[in-house]
Amino acid sequence: MTSFATSPLPGQDHYGTVVTDLDPAALDDPAVRAALHSLWLDTGVVVFRGIGGGIDTQLRLSEIYGEPEVHPMMAGTDIRTEHRALAPIEFDRDDGNIYEIGGELRGGYLPWHFDGAYVDRINHGGVLRPEVLPGRGGETGFIDQIAAYDTLPAALQQRIDGLSVVYSYQPDLTKAKFGERPDRLVQMSTLFRKGMEHPSVQVRAIHPLVYEQAGTGRKILHVSPWFADGIEGMENEEGDALLREVISYVMRPELMYFHQWQPGDMVLWDNWRMLHCACGVPPEERRIMRRTTIVGDYGLGRREAVAA
């Protein structure tokens, strides 16, 4: 394949790839499309460096992996962007999330998670593109949970086999039960606050803690620290301790990649296996991103049964 070049993610040899020298005109070539689709499934996250092309290229690139859909939390709202399939990922001091973390204020911070953990249907991925980048900060982090599963001791792998995790929507990150928590909530955005009223989050969701990637059989450690309430049937001290032990293996620094954004970048990730986070920006900075959401559902999530 000579239509683009590939290289490893900087400092990361467990997963991911960087694509360079890709002319947007080549996105119509079936062979190029097939090769890019395989990269995504094989490596989990693909950084398209210097691809440029704006909205049109982002939409055409997204269509290689599936139909771009309206993000579920945007459905029924009055939020509008340049295209119905583009979701706004923006930090604005006047109406954006601001947290204090280690004595530092960060706007637009999001902890480690996979999208849709709090609903039963999980989209297959996303493509993120910057429009306005801050002078400092604003990195996006990724963790591959195929690589994370491989770090688990055999005894722990056996112990969690067949278990599931219960999730609920929690917009206040200081109240997250698992994973990293900010020290203090300074300001919550209107979008996050209104999310509590969205019909899709009124009943908790349940997802398997481990499942196999279709077509490869590779085991995926499927846990989102943000939104997790506990292990189904074990929402007690024992279950919480087990889930914290599992998450400690996921949060190993050698499994993390933090993307340093440049103009012209686009980043694609497989939401069925990757965690991601937003490191945030100083409150005086501005960060505007556009994200497409790739339609799909791995078919293993379900709603918690609610007594009549």
Q: Is 238 helix (H, G, I), strand (E, B) or coil?
A: helix
Determine what percent of the chain is predicted with pLDDT higher than 90: 80
How far is 211 from 220, CA to CA, in rounded Å? 5
Residue with tokens 């910057």: 130
pLDDT digits (tens, 9 = 90+) for 3-50: 899 999 999 999 999 999 999 999 999 999 999 999 999 999 999 999
| CA 115 from centroid of its chain's CA atoms | 5
How far is 192 from 161, CA to CA, in rounded Å? 34
Among positive and negative, which fits the CA dihedral 193, 102, 149, 7? positive
Q: What is the pLDDT of residue 92?
A: 86
From residue 89, give the alpha-carbon distance in Å to each of 111, 118, 131, 174: 15, 19, 10, 21
How many residues are recorded in the chain? 308
**Bridge partners (DSSP) listed for residue 210:** 221
Of the candidate ranges 8-12, 13-17, 79-83, 124-128, the one whose mean pLDDT is the lowest: 79-83
Write down the architecture of domain 5-303 according to CATH. Answer: 4-Layer Sandwich (3.60)
**Bridge partners (DSSP) listed for residue 234:** 231
Long-range contacts formed by 32-38: CB under 8 A, 24+ apart:
32/1, 32/3, 32/4, 33/64, 35/1, 35/3, 35/4, 36/4, 36/61, 36/64, 37/64, 37/65
Residue 200 confidence (pLDDT) above 80: no
DSSP string, 105-165: EEES-EEEE-TTTTSS----EEEEEEEE--SS---EEEEEHHHHHHHS-HHHHHHHTT-EE
The model carries a pTM of: 0.92
Name the H helices within the chain: 30-43, 54-63, 145-151, 154-160, 190-195, 237-250
Residue 74 confidence (pLDDT) above 70: no
How far is 166 from 239, CA to CA, in rounded Å? 11
From residue 113, give the alpha-carbon distance in Å to each of 37, 40, 216, 277, 278: 23, 19, 23, 7, 10
Compute the average pLDDT of residues 45-67: 92
